[in-house]
């Protein structure tokens, strides 16, 4: 019997692919009309924070009200020296404006079109119009809770890297491996250095990008297209985390810690789940247990996003400071394991506000 969640996933994927067909023809003409109205369709308001040498573009879609976690993200970024340009894909209520504007440099309200890359594009074009080219630019969206730990090392890693273009996570299709221009950076978090603003590939990508509210096209043109355009141009690049880097962090750990990693692992592939259960059922002194466990860790990391599959390891041993919010089955199971680890004291609490939100988005 095929699980209901898998049938829903496949049906949604098919719908998006079918809807993408006419979008390929309609999109360019619609983009020209939108560009002719830019920036009139954007409402820009100044906040209380002064512009400095670092800017964080934070994309928000929270029409039911700006969440406490989003405000915590803004305050964290401000504390790290970033002037926040909040890009909101819906009208901002007076109550939310009262909470948001004292914490940001500027707030941009725009039509809810184009997903994250539509908002990123408008923000980048506005910064270009304002002649703002920050020494450091962060692009991130509210598809993740960030930071789980105020002492997170992600921003420091970006700023310490000589790369012009950085991503929080480098995704490489198996059997490929981590390399400077391999795979793509996932779109929930990017970092740029100042030279990238004037690089021909960067300028051309954002000038020519065709926005779409179709997920298939946004992933293809945006998430995949952006990284590939810059990688193809030879832009110096680095991903802070990848499948390979996570496995490197796990390899030297003792058997007892590997058992904890497996205990808190999340799977949507039942054969992998059964294999994990069998490994945990073996006694600590079972012959060649470590070899079998390592083969399993490698196989599971290659099968699905390893930051979700091995959430305990990602947070505890790689220092990953975020959790995905989406309702995909793997992410829901991942958050259950994360909450279980926090309740057991094996992972630190992210704080009351974030913990409440994570629980609310994690069905039993």
Tens digit of pLDDT for each residue in 133-187?
Answer: 999 999 999 999 999 999 999 999 999 999 999 999 999 998 899 999 999 999 9
Query: Does the pLDDT at position 253 exceed 60?
Result: yes
Kindly state whether residues 84 and 46 are assigned to the same domain. yes
Query: Does the pLDDT at position 9 exceed 80?
Result: no
Pair 58, 107: CB distance under 8 Å: no
Please work out, in degrees rounded to the nearest 5, the angle formed at the alpha carbon of residue 352 by the alpha carbons of 84 and 311. Answer: 80
Report, as an integer, the average pLDDT of 305-329: 96
Domain assignment present for 92: yes
Q: State the residue range of the domain holding 332.
A: 252-360
Nearest to 189 by CA among 59, 317, 86, 68: 59
Tally of domains in the chain: 2
Pair 128, 210: CB distance under 8 Å: no
Kindly state whether residues 108 and 200 are assigned to the same domain. yes
pLDDT digits (tens, 9 = 90+) for 154-166: 999 999 999 999 9
Decide which of 241, 261, 281 is a domain's last residue.
241
Pair 237, 198: CB distance under 8 Å: no
Domain assignment present for 7: no
Kindly state whether residues 114 and 146 are assigned to the same domain. yes
Domain assignment present for 47: yes
- Top pLDDT among 296 and 9 is at 296
What is the CATH classification number for the domain harbouring 104?
3.90.550
For residue 214, the model assigns a pLDDT of: 86
Domain assignment present for 81: yes
Average pLDDT, the chain: 94
- Top pLDDT among 327 and 300 is at 300
Domain assignment present for 268: yes
Q: What percent of the chain has pLDDT over 70?
A: 95
Kindly state whether residues 136 and 200 are assigned to the same domain. yes
Kindly state whether residues 23 and 121 are assigned to the same domain. yes
For residue 29, name the pLDDT band (cuts at 50, 70, 90): confident
For residue 20, the model assigns a pLDDT of: 58
Kindly state whether residues 82 and 179 are assigned to the same domain. yes
Query: Does the pLDDT at position 279 exceed 80?
Result: yes
Domain assignment present for 246: no
For residue 7, the model assigns a pLDDT of: 58
Alpha-carbon span 112 to 120, nearest angstrom: 12
For residue 15, name the pLDDT band (cuts at 50, 70, 90): low
Report, as an integer, the average pLDDT of 301-324: 97
For residue 30, the model assigns a pLDDT of: 85
Kindly state whether residues 170 and 83 are assigned to the same domain. yes
Kindly state whether residues 170 and 311 are assigned to the same domain. no
Domain assignment present for 2: no
């Amino acid at each position: 019997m095929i699980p209901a969640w898998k049938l829903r996933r496949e049906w949604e994927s098919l719908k998006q692919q079918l809807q993408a067909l006419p979008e390929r023809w309609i999109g360019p003409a619609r983009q020209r009309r939108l560009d002719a109205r830019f920036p009139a369709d954007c409402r820009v308001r100044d906040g209380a924070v002064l512009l400095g040498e670092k800017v964080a573009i934070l994309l928000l879609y929270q029409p039911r009200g700006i969440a406490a976690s989003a405000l915590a993200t803004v305050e964290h970024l401000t504390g790290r020296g970033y002037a926040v340009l909040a890009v909101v894909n819906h009208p901002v209520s007076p109550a939310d404006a009262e909470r948001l504007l004292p914490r940001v440099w500027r707030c941009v309200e725009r039509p809810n079109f184009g997903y994250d890359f539509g908002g990123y594009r408008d923000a980048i074009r506005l910064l270009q119009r304002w002649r703002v080219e920050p020494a450091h630019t962060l692009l991130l969206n509210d598809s993740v809770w960030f930071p789980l730990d105020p002492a997170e090392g992600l921003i420091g890693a970006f700023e310490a890297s000589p790369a012009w273009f950085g991503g929080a996570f480098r995704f490489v299709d198996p059997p490929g491996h981590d390399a400077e221009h391999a795979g793509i950076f996932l779109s929930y978090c990017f970092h740029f250095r100042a030279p990238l603003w004037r690089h021909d590939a960067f300028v051309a990508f954002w000038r020519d990008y065709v926005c779409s509210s179709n997920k298939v096209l946004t992933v293809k043109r945006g998430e995949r297209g952006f990284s590939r355009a810059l990688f193809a141009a030879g832009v110096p690049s680095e991903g802070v985390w990848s499948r390979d880097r996570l496995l490197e962090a796990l390899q030297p750990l003792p058997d007892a810690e590997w058992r904890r990693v497996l205990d808190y692992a999340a799977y949507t592939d039942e054969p992998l789940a059964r294999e994990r259960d069998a490994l945990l059922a073996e006694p600590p002194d079972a012959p060649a247990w470590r070899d079998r466990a390592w083969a399993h860790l490698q196989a599971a990391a290659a099968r699905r996003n390893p930051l979700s599959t091995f959430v305990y390891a990602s947070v505890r041993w790689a220092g990953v400071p975020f959790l995905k919010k989406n309702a995909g089955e793997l992410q829901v199971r991942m958050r259950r394991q994360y909450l279980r680890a926090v309740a057991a004291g094996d992972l630190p609490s992210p704080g009351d506000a974030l913990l409440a939100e994570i629980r609310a988005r994690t069905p039993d």
